[in-house]
């Protein structure tokens, strides 16, 4: 799946899973070299994209499906069996900061265990509004997307420019009434908690978090520190709610 942050990307993901196939998310902002590496290494059966990004796939021996192709709706429908829990759900590549990126394959059972725990842990329900902040090819999207859809909550998908601008992200969180969000500490440090009182559940992950950041953001909400390499299905440990002024920042437990 090589699509920009959008509702179409979510629909395409659901469609892939419904067929019993696994999805491989590719961030459209990745350089051509990384895109080429992932395609060569994973050997996908097809790439789902749109006309804006299809030209980047020229030269690769892989079928390209354009999500806005009007002929798709005229093709015959096929009734497909529900994939078993042991079937692969997705493949996400590691960052490669410690070597060559590698694809990590996760099953439906692994995703189910993750979201079952985190729905209860973070109190997500039909009234929640969850921010989809993570890069499309980062495994935090698995948490953001599936805990939302499974509970009937609202997934708020910002345009890329809103995510990269402090003012845009602040306005989006405020105007959309975001209740749950997962951010890296460096992204959170650019924001002010003032005016963002709707955020009642905050997860920091992906980087080391500072005590100063906890002191700013923990009051008035549940703020936790999470850690986990891609190989552990997004999250391996989660702390208890962090306490401002405690000077303690645990990494948590499984």
pLDDT digits (tens, 9 = 90+) for 207-233: 999 999 999 999 999 999 999 989 999
Q: What is the DSSP letter of 28?
A: T
Per-residue pLDDT at 214: 97
Please state the length of the chain: 254
What six digits make up the tokens of 212? 């100063």
Could you tell me which of 79, 103, 108 has the C-alpha nearest to residue 92? 103
- CA dist 118 and 238 (Å) reads 10
Please give the Cα distance from 151 to 134 (Å, whole number): 20
- Residue 45, pLDDT above cutoff 90: yes
Query: Could you tell me the pLDDT band of residue 56, with boundaries at 50, 70 and 90?
Result: very high
CA–CA distance, 99 with 81 (Å, rounded to integer): 39
DSSP-based three-state secondary structure for 244: coil
Mean pLDDT of 58-70: 94
Q: What percentage of residues in the chain have a pLDDT greater than 90?
A: 83
Domains, in order of start, for the chain? 7-83 (3.40.50.980), 108-238 (3.40.50.980)
Among candidate residues 152, 156, 135, 132, the one with its CA nearest the CA of residue 144:
132
The answer to whether residues 5 and 160 touch, using CB atoms and an 8 Å cutoff, is yes
107-165 pLDDT, tens per residue?
Answer: 999 999 999 999 999 999 999 999 999 998 999 999 999 999 999 999 999 987 777 77
Termini Cα distance of the chain: 31
* Cα→Cα distances 213→186, 190, 223, 235, Å: 10, 10, 10, 21
**Which pLDDT belongs to residue 93?**
96
> Of 232, 249, 231, whose CA–CA distance to 240 is shortest?
249
Q: What angle do CA 19, 20, 25 make, to 5 degrees?
A: 90
């Amino acid at each position: 799946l090589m699509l920009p942050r959008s509702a179409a990307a979510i629909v395409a993901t659901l469609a892939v899973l419904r067929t019993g196939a696994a999805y491989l998310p590719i961030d459209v902002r990745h350089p051509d070299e990384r895109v080429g590496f992932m395609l060569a290494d994973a050997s996908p059966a097809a790439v789902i994209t749109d006309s804006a990004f299809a030209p980047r796939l020229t030269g690769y021996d892989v079928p390209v499906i354009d999500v806005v192709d009007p002929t798709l709706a005229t093709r015959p429908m096929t009734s497909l069996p529900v994939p078993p829990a042991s079937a692969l759900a997705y493949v996400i590549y590691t960052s490669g900061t410690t070597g060559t990126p590698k694809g990590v394959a996760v099953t439906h059972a692994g995703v189910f265990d993750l979201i079952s725990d985190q729905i209860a842990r973070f109190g997500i329900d039909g009234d929640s509004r969850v921010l989809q902040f993570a890069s499309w090819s980062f495994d935090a999207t698995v948490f953001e997307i599936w805990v939302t859809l499974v509970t009937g909550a609202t997934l708020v998908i910002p345009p890329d420019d809103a995510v990269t601008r402090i003012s845009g992200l602040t306005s989006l969180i405020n105007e959309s009434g975001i209740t749950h969000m997962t951010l890296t500490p460096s992204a959170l440090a650019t924001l002010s908690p003032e005016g963002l009182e709707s955020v009642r559940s905050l997860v920091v992950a992906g980087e080391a978090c500072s005590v100063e950041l906890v002191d700013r953001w923990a009051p008035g909400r549940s703020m936790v520190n999470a850690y986990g390499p891609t190989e552990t299905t997004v999250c391996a440990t989660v702390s208890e709610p962090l306490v401002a002024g405690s000077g303690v920042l645990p990494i948590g437990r499984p």
